[in-house]
């Protein structure tokens, strides 16, 4: 019994580790519009690597267009134009074995010369949150 508890704790800790890796090519659904690198704003989307909420299907939308579906621990970066945009996450959150629709969207204003990093969180009340902005 002691070995089982140790193994379970080890697996849980590994699953909660927040190491990120690039998204698998098959999960990229479409490309955002082409943007000139000089005028572009770098946007990075990360999917929470936590074991909790692992059943969340992390579909990311940019200006109402499905761009990528991120698995746990995956990240995707793209260039966006400066100005106002709509970011969204659509999914099905498995609760008591029943898929519950989950959708969060936010309107953002990207400033030229800045980088934005967002996290798709597995907690339904959070959805998509800004982690950091830097130049």
Residues 6-13: contacts with CB under 8 Å, at least 24 apart: 12/51
DSSP 124: T
Q: How far apart are CA 40 and CA 103, in angstroms?
A: 27
Total-model pTM: 0.76
Mark the ranges of the chain whose per-residue pLDDT is less than 50.
Answer: 5-17
pLDDT at 5: 45
Q: How distant is the alpha carbon of residue 9 from its chain centre?
A: 26
CATH topology of domain 2-134: Immunoglobulin-like (2.60.40)
Q: How far apart are CA 15 and CA 6, in angstroms?
A: 14
């Amino acid at each position: 019994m002691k070995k089982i508890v140790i193994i379970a704790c080890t697996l849980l800790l590994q699953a909660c580790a927040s190491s990120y890796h690039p998204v698998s090519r098959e999960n990229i659904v479409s490309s955002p519009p082409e943007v000139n690198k000089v005028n572009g704003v770098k946007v990075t989307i990360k999917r929470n690597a936590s074991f909790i909420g692992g059943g969340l299907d992390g579909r990311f939308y940019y200006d109402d267009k499905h761009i990528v579906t991120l698995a746990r621990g995956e990240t995707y970066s793209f260039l966006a134009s400066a100005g106002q945009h709509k970011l969204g996450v659509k999914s099905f959150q498995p609760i008591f074995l029943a898929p519950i629709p989950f959708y969060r969207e936010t309107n953002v204003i990207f400033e030229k010369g800045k980088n934005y990093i967002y996290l798709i969180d597995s907690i339904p009340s959070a959805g998509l949150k800004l982690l950091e902005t830097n130049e």
